Amino acid sequence: MITEPFINENSLIHRLDPRVRLVFATLYSFAVAVLNQFPALAWALFLSFLLVLLARLNFREVGRRLAMLNTLLLFFWVALPLTFEGEPIFSIGPISATREGVLLSAQITLKSNAILLAFIALVATSPLATLGHAMNRLCVPEKIVHLLLLTYRYVFVIEQEYQRLIRAAKIRGFCPKTDIHTYRTYAYLIGMLFVRASARAERVHQAMVCRGFKGKFYCLSEFSLTRLDVICSAFMVAAIIGLEMLEWFVKIT
Q: Residue 242: is its pLDDT beyond 90?
A: yes
Question: Whole-prediction pTM value?
Answer: 0.83
Q: What is the mean pLDDT of residues 96-114?
A: 91
Determine the pLDDT at residue 1: 54
Q: What is the mean pLDDT of residues 136-160?
A: 84
DSSP for the chain, please give it.
----TTSS--STTTTS-HHHHHHHHHHHHHHHHT---HHHHHHHHHHHHHHHHHHT--HHHHHHHHHHHHHHHHHHHHHHHHHS-S-EEEEETTEEEEHHHHHHHHHHHHHHHHHHHHHHHHTTTS-HHHHHHHHHHTT--HHHHHHHHHHHHHHHHHHHHHHHHHHHHHHTT----SSHHHHHHHHHHHHHHHHHHHHHHHHHHHHHHHTT--S----SS-----HHHHHHHHHHHHHHHHHHHHHHHHHH-
Q: How confident is the model at residue 214 (pLDDT cuts 50, 70, 90)?
A: confident
Tell me which of 66-75, 205-214, 225-234 is least confident: 205-214
Determine the pLDDT at residue 221: 67
Tell me which of 82-86, 183-187, 190-194, 226-230 is least confident: 82-86
